[in-house]
Structure 1
Amino acid sequence: MRVYEYAKKMKISSKEMLNLLEQVGMKVNNHMSVLDEGMIQKVEQHMNKEGGAPSEAKEKAQGEKKVKQQAKNQNQSGSRSQRPSGNKRNSRPNRPNQRQNQPKSPGRQPRISAAEEVQKSAGFMAKDKVEQPKRAKKEDPKKGRFSKLKDDPPKDFAIGRGKGRNRKKGDRKGENREKQAPVLPKEITVSGPLTVADFAKLLRREASAVIKKLISHGVMATINQEIDVETMSVIAEEFDVTVIYKEEVDESNFEEQEEVDAPEDLVERPPVVTIMGHVDHGKTTLLDQIRNSNVTAGEAGGITQHIGAYQVEVNGKKITFLDTPGHAAFTTMRARGAQVTDITILVVAADDGVMSQTIEAVNHAKAANVPIIVAVNKMDKPGVNPDRVKQQLMEHGLVPEEWGGDTIFVPVSALTGNGIEDLLEMVLLVAEVQELKANPNKRARGVVIEAELDKGRGAVATVLVQNGTLKVGDGIVAGNYFGKIRAMINDRGRRIKTAPPSTPVEILGLPDVPSPGDQFMVFEDEKKGRAIAEKRMQKRIEEERGASSRVSLDDLFKQIKEGEVKDLNIIIKADVQGSAEALKSSLEKIDVEGVNVKIIHSGVGAISESDIILASASNAIVIGFNVRPEPNARSMAEQEKVDIRLHRVIYNVIEEIEAAMKGMLDPEFEEKVVGSAEVRQIFKVSKVGTIAGCYVIEGKIVRDGNARIIRDGVVIHDGKLDTLKRFKDDVKEVAQGYECGLTLQNYNDIKEGDLIEVYVIEEVERK
């Protein structure tokens, strides 16, 4: 019997059973390990000695606690009933008497109406008493005013006359002479760069004195110029003042702020699951099967798919599924700093086996450090071999449990529904071992999964609550926008008031559409929320203007020295699998102190948008070996500031990476792509060769440039242009949107549909 099955039988959790086995002295790998009869007997003997299973002990303790609580409640209710009923009424008249007995403060006037009422009820009039202070004030107002001055001379001397005024002036002069030395501060606290004027104000010195000190240290600064903390410390020392640097907490950057909850406040939350895999391996069918067979509250087909996420219930426990369009979206969210998924289900078809996108999905999940459950689909087909899938995935580091690994493999059929229950049970098991918990009793935080602009409803965002409870009417900052939640719609299309952790909901009320992967947080103070949203928007604009912080080979050594880079992440794309493997093993052998080369993905074919997204999320460098980036991938790389290096000789790649890591990289020449043209028609002319009739799709074609022929994303020839013509005339260049005819030096194997990329080699300044 497996550990989790035995735990279920004994009515305890798998975690408790693993602890129990450790106490008995039996070491098992995990909850999927098998227990024989001898081991079970040993556990039962231990339980009998201890006096029942842990769960029984818990129940017993809970029962005793309940009895004590009931007794306590009865005592309280009894003591309440025994109190005399007249107590409350009798106590009321005593209150004014108590007040009356208290001594009045000398400066305060009693309220006449209240005093009259009380004294009338006592049987006498207190009119004279109430009015007495007024008469005294009218008789001699000056006396009253000057008597106050005598009591407290320093406070009210300014309103005095004659001698008092002269005395005040004399005192002030004397005080100035005495107080001049101690007024200067011994230490000041700063939270960042300050202008010279503000710094002088903190030091209580003239700005000119501070500027003189700055000039003496070789810093030429005006009164409105900012100086950094280090400079402030040096200048402050000259004035015998210590500068204390206190870092200011930036609330606008709430993604990086961690809120630590007390262990007793945490409760179990549903796991969030993403399904990934190759195209046509049955991801959508599997999602539909889970949705239809596990609808909460038995509403068949009640869950709508428009929300992009939904919840199902299995054995009384909920699971949240993210319906994302593949691993690219999964990694885009990770690139934005949102670690949404707890578990990944990798769908592999038993008849097809492991494909290119399957490997890509594995690499994306591994880079995110998320546990993987493999669903071997299409088991209903005749003659399928699930062992072949296991063998193939072993090459990528996913070893099945029955073969001594820690990856769970579940055979399923998305069409018939076989194995779906087992798959969901395994998801709950993995979630139980992970101990996923959240605090529902605090302000909500989470991630935007999808967002769109609806004609009737305005900006609609699908969010996943990760911590706290989201409520209608809450003011939230999502991305760079602040709004108040007008309505929340759950995965079944119903309006709800609250959303606990791991619940996906659609929210209305944001002024604009945030980006998927943006994090959100609730702010009770509306003014503060709006200020933070504005600050975040400003910061984003500044970041877009500023330089990129991505790793590039040019500044790699500098970043290694500063301790920013410990792992150099690399993505390899080659024309054939053999080259990719050879390049991977060669790069992994590079040994430079302080930095490791880490290949996070290698594949065959042109550099795609998916590779750029993964590189952006993992801060990696993309190396293309005999392949080119797709047009969209190239523009995305420029936008995301991802460094792409293209090579044709394996030794050049190794030398370049090694030189970059040692800080000796100093390229003198740089390749600049000036344009590309598509071959539309071929003309074969004797004595001339093959003429390519082309249409310029990007940039311009120049006659003195080098040309590269790309067929299906792979470079098949690299040479020089021979002739370039428009109609019958020789031309120097042809711009985008025009047609031309060209020939290549010593090369005639051009075909329709080929892409001709023209580039020039430019000399660049040494850095």
Structure 2
Amino acid sequence: MQAPSVGGVLLPRGNGQTVRLSRGASLTDFAEKINANPASLVQVMLNLGEMVTATQSVSDSTLELLAGEMNYVLEIVSPEEEDRELLESFSIEFGEDEGGEEMLVSRPPVVTVMGHVDHGKTRLLDAIRKTNVVAGEAGGITQHIGAYQVATDVNGEERAITFIDTPGHEAFTAMRARGAKSTDIAILVVAANDGVMPQTIEALNHAKAAEVPIVVAVNKIDVEGADPTKVRGQLTEFGLVAEEYGGDTMFVDISAKQGLNIDSLLEAVILTADASLDLRANPEQDAQGIAIEAHLDKGRGAVATVLVQRGTLRVGDTMVVGDAYGRVRAMLDDKGENVEEATPSTPVLVLGLTNVPGAGDNFLVVDEDRTARQIAEKRAARERNVRFARKGVRFSLENLDEALKAGLVQELNLIIKGDASGSVEALESSLLQLDVGDEVDIRVLHRGVGAVTESDIDLATGSDAIVIGFNVRAAGRAAQMAEREGVDVRYYSVIYQAIEEIEAALKGMLKPEYEEVELGTAEIREVFRSSKLGNIAGVLVRSGEVRRNTKARLLRDGKVIAENLNIEGLRRFKDDVTEIREGYEGGINLGNYNDIKIDDVIATYEMREKPRG
């Protein structure tokens, strides 16, 4: 039955039928579902004021607009559901142990260590590694693979524990964002002298969101000013009540530096696992699990550290990890030794993949190389479509007014990072008080202290947020990632400027402005004293180029220490030069500014006029 024409185009009438489409689908995909001609859907979109090609990946909102116009109900299939359907088409069940109860065997708990920076997470992991590595392996660790297994004695029985050594709760959350549950128990490290800090709360919230039991390690009990009782009191406010106070969270006072009570902590992990978790898996089936980290190795190609969750992974198996696949050429354990097989809860480094998978990608073993290739290719195509669709809906402060008028956005999502919690809270509070009418809401998705990280850009990418950096800059690869994903990152050093710009954007009043363009960054390797010129920075240029007479700022540990500096002098060996390019060393004179230290970063930039679109 034909519908009344939409702008002269006759189309099937949906009558409220549900159409299921994956995220990033095209008009052609839609047309196939409703038995229509893709060209006619392109015409409908033109009549609705949107220019879209038949094969282009489009956003969820565009698909919803089209479905509504034709009286269909659109259901967007989640990536997890889509992946499950993909595997079912190959008769593969993921996430399920095969066989009955009799096939299940006890497995070690998988633990992630989380907490505030400088509270001793890395030192704790080192202490555990040194004192409790499986018998005969002490000091034999030759290679870091991002996870390792230790043994501890509990009630006369030797029990194994697997530790995932990730860079903190960011990686933990990146895995969860992909629908992967890798951790059974979280150890929350809190320094006894500092107590609960902003990142402690952040880590705690991440662990709670993942619904994993928490064991609290109160570290640095040997330091002056340590007060473990205060930590217990502070964490009670966040719902973690110590056993001795009538709660069900185990607190263990430790010193990672001295190696004190490490065994007690490991015992607490085992007891918590036994009390609140049923950790069993079938070791007889084809292996399934999760990738913890992966990278490109110069000599060995794509390598991935995987955690086996069920089944047994063997050398020679054909595996799919996210959109990578391959035959397992070799497996290495955390000591760099070759192993032939890995049982549930065992982490191993796998060689033989076609490309580098992502942290948190699921892996599974399949019977044939051809099946592995087909699954990997379909996953890669899906990821590509989602990325293209995402690019179409990203907006910035400049086009926010148009997005509001077009009804593409009803709220402005913000991520605020700053140099101190006080300034972050002040900025958040001021922004939330802005009176911008009923058309739009301001929502702060995340706020934190420190540099803008890849984790922040990840969150902004998934939720169409604008990132605000107050007296901080992007760290590591976050700037490139933001550019690649089209995330709008704004830097401010004056609170009022940030408030005024966002208010103006919401009211559609933004004027042409000058934008800051980063030219290059240089890391200070040495500081030379000169009686005539003051302190000279001996630097290695890390990115771009550093030019004489340009503006600069000085960063220390990701925080802005000084603004509005000038590159007054540049030298290569004994020669004055006008610029130093990436990868070269040289000397920088910042004029009268002398407070420079080794490891500081000099970031140079210039202001360019930018008409607002």
Give the CA deviation at 1:272: 1.7
Q: Which residue of 2 aligns with 1:764?
A: 611
Cα distance change on mapping 1:398 and 1:564 into 2, 3 Å: farther
Q: Which residue of 1 aligns with 2:4?
A: none
Task: Tell me how far apart the structure 2 counterparts of residues 231 and 617 of structure 1 sit (CA, whole Å).
Answer: 21
Task: Tell me how far apart the structure 2 counterparts of residues 447 and 379 of structure 1 sit (CA, whole Å).
Answer: 36
Give the CA deviation at 1:751: 6.0
Letter matched to residue 673 of structure 1? V
2:426 partner SS: helix
Cα distance change on mapping 1:361 and 1:645 into 2, 3 Å: same
Letter matched to residue 310 of structure 1? Q
Give the CA deviation at 1:607: 4.4
Q: Which residue of 1 aligns with 2:443?
A: 597
1:324 partner SS: coil
Letter matched to residue 83 of structure 2? F
Cα distance change on mapping 1:387 and 1:550 into 2, 3 Å: farther
The answer (yes or no) to whether the contact 2:188–2:217 under 8 Å persists in 1 is yes
Would you say 1:477 and 2:320 are equivalent positions?
A: yes
Q: Deviations for 1:85-137, whole angstroms, at most 9, x for unmatched residues?
A: xxxxxxxxxxxxxxxxxxxxxxxxxxxxxxxxxxxxxxxxxxxxxxxxxxxxx
Q: Which residue of 2 aligns with 1:573?
A: 418
Q: Deviations for 1:646-675, whole angstroms, at most 9, x for unmatched residues?
A: 223324434555666x67574542523264
The answer (yes or no) to whether the contact 2:64–2:74 under 8 Å persists in 1 is no
Give the CA deviation at 1:588: 5.5
Pairing 1:406-421 to 2, within 5 Å after superposition: 408-414=250-256, 415-418=258-261, 420-421=263-264
Task: Tell me how far apart the structure 2 counterparts of residues 570 and 231 of structure 1 sit (CA, whole Å).
Answer: 28
The answer (yes or no) to whether the contact 2:184–2:212 under 8 Å persists in 1 is yes
Q: Which residue of 1 aligns with 2:218?
A: 376
Give the CA deviation at 1:578: 3.3
2:113 partner SS: strand
Would you say 1:648 and 2:493 are equivalent positions?
A: yes
Q: Which structure shows the bigger proportion of residues in strand conformation? A: 2
Would you say 1:425 and 2:268 are equivalent positions?
A: yes
Would you say 1:448 and 2:295 are equivalent positions?
A: no
1:485 partner SS: strand
Would you say 1:386 and 2:228 are equivalent positions?
A: yes
The answer (yes or no) to whether the contact 1:699–1:736 under 8 Å persists in 2 is yes
2:606 partner SS: strand
Give the CA deviation at 1:476: 1.5
Q: Which residue of 2 aligns with 1:673?
A: 517
Task: Tell me how far apart the structure 1 counterparts of residues 418 and 469 of structure 2 sit (CA, whole Å).
Answer: 5
Give the CA deviation at 1:464: 1.0
Q: Which residue of 2 aligns with 1:466?
A: 309
1:572 partner SS: strand
Pairing 1:600-639 to 2, within 5 Å after superposition: 600-603=446-449, 607=452, 621-629=466-474, 633-639=478-484
Task: Tell me how far apart the structure 1 counterparts of residues 354 and 423 of structure 2 sit (CA, whole Å).
Answer: 51
Taking structure 2 as the reference length, the TM-score comes to 0.64
Among candidates 148, 151, 157, match of residue 309 of structure 1: 148
Q: Which residue of 1 aligns with 2:3?
A: none
Give the CA deviation at 1:463: 0.8
Q: Which residue of 1 aligns with 2:426?
A: 582
Give the CA deviation at 1:482: 2.0
1:580 partner SS: helix
Cα distance change on mapping 1:443 and 1:699 into 2, 3 Å: same
Q: Deviations for 1:11-59, whole angstroms, at most 9, x for unmatched residues?
A: xxxxxxxxxxxxxxxxxxxxxxxxxxxxxxxxxxxxxxxxxxxxxxxxx
Among candidates 502, 506, 523, match of residue 366 of structure 2: 523
Give the CA deviation at 1:290: 4.2
Q: Deviations for 1:614-637, whole angstroms, at most 9, x for unmatched residues?
A: 766887543222344457553444
The number of aligned residues is 546
The answer (yes or no) to whether the contact 1:333–1:516 under 8 Å persists in 2 is yes
Task: Tell me how far apart the structure 2 counterparts of residues 695 and 289 of structure 1 sit (CA, whole Å).
Answer: 35
- The CA RMSD over aligned residues, in Å, is 6.0
Cα distance change on mapping 1:587 and 1:453 into 2, 3 Å: closer
Cα distance change on mapping 1:416 and 1:270 into 2, 3 Å: closer
Would you say 1:272 and 2:117 are equivalent positions?
A: no
Identity %: 40
Task: Tell me how far apart the structure 2 counterparts of residues 217 and 419 of structure 1 sit (CA, whole Å).
Answer: 64
The answer (yes or no) to whether the contact 2:394–2:464 under 8 Å persists in 1 is yes
Q: Which residue of 2 aligns with 1:112?
A: none
Give the CA deviation at 1:233: 9.7
Q: Which structure shows the bigger proportion of residues in helix conformation? A: 1
Task: Tell me how far apart the structure 2 counterparts of residues 212 and 419 of structure 1 sit (CA, whole Å).
Answer: 68
Which sections of structure 2, spanning at least 5 residues, go unmatched? 1-11, 48-52, 87-92, 572-576
Pairing 1:17-56 to 2, within 5 Å after superposition: none
Give the CA deviation at 1:600: 3.2
Cα distance change on mapping 1:194 and 1:631 into 2, 3 Å: closer
Q: Which residue of 2 aligns with 1:74?
A: none
Pairing 1:112-511 to 2, within 5 Å after superposition: 254=83, 265=100, 270-277=108-115, 281-284=119-122, 286-287=124-125, 290-291=128-129, 301=138, 306=143, 307=145, 308-310=147-149, 312=151, 314=154, 318-327=160-169, 329-331=171-173, 333-334=175-176, 338-351=180-193, 353=195, 361-362=203-204, 365=207, 370-379=212-221, 384-390=226-232, 400=242, 408-414=250-256, 415-418=258-261, 420-421=263-264, 423-426=266-269, 428-429=271-272, 432-433=275-276, 443-451=286-294, 459-467=302-310, 469-471=312-314, 473-486=316-329, 488=331, 493=337, 495-497=339-341, 499-500=343-344, 502-511=345-354
Letter matched to residue 607 of structure 2? V
Cα distance change on mapping 1:702 and 1:664 into 2, 3 Å: farther
Task: Tell me how far apart the structure 1 counterparts of residues 99 and 430 of structure 2 sit (CA, whole Å).
Answer: 51
Give the CA deviation at 1:529: 1.9
Larger relative contact order (CA 8 Å, sep ≥ 6): 2
The answer (yes or no) to whether the contact 1:694–1:742 under 8 Å persists in 2 is no
The answer (yes or no) to whether the contact 1:490–1:496 under 8 Å persists in 2 is no
Cα distance change on mapping 1:649 and 1:433 into 2, 3 Å: same
Taking structure 1 as the reference length, the TM-score comes to 0.54
Task: Tell me how far apart the structure 1 counterparts of residues 178 and 265 of structure 2 sit (CA, whole Å).
Answer: 34
Q: Which residue of 2 aligns with 1:80?
A: none
Cα distance change on mapping 1:400 and 1:531 into 2, 3 Å: same
